[in-house]
A = this chain, B = another copy of it.
Amino acid sequence: MRPAAMTVEQIEDLLRSEFPQAFYDGCGLSLERVHYADVRVRRAYHEDHLRPGGTISGPTMMELADFAMYVAVFSAIGPQPLAVTTNLSINFLRKPAPTDLLADAKLLKVGKRLVVGEVAIYSDGQDEPVAHVTSTYSVPAKMD
């Protein structure tokens, strides 16, 4: 298996410096695993995530999936903070209880221009996913 292009600590440092609006001490996001093209991110529960019915809102899950894909892109191609999502498609499967969420992102293709992956989101402690996401990131062309 190929080694990851960046360690957990390197990705956290990159996120803190390049994306301070989303990743900062106390933001509730943490990186639990970073392998090559295969990462796990945790989102700590906060009551602001609730929607009518007392379950966690869709946008909370979409933001988490997009963040997990961003980390997975770094795990495969290294520091590319200007990589941008071109497409994200999410299916909501079950209503997540008010607890932590885990997002497992795996890349399906690591191309020169496009990186495609899928993300399964789980409620902490549950076996069946609450949401499933596929997403494509566009990687900026290298300056030569």
**Chain A interface residues toward B at CB < 8 A:** 18-19, 21-22, 47-53, 57-59, 62-63, 66-67, 81-82, 84-95, 108-109, 113-114, 116, 118, 128-129, 132, 134, 136, 138
Contact = CB atoms under 8 A, between A and B. Distances in A.
Contact of A62 (B63, B109, B136): B63
Number of copies: 4
Given A51-B19, A82-B52, A88 B108 contact: no
Nearest to A109: B93
A85 B18 CA distance: 31
Nearest to A140: B53
A108 B114 CA distance: 19
Nearest to A116: B91
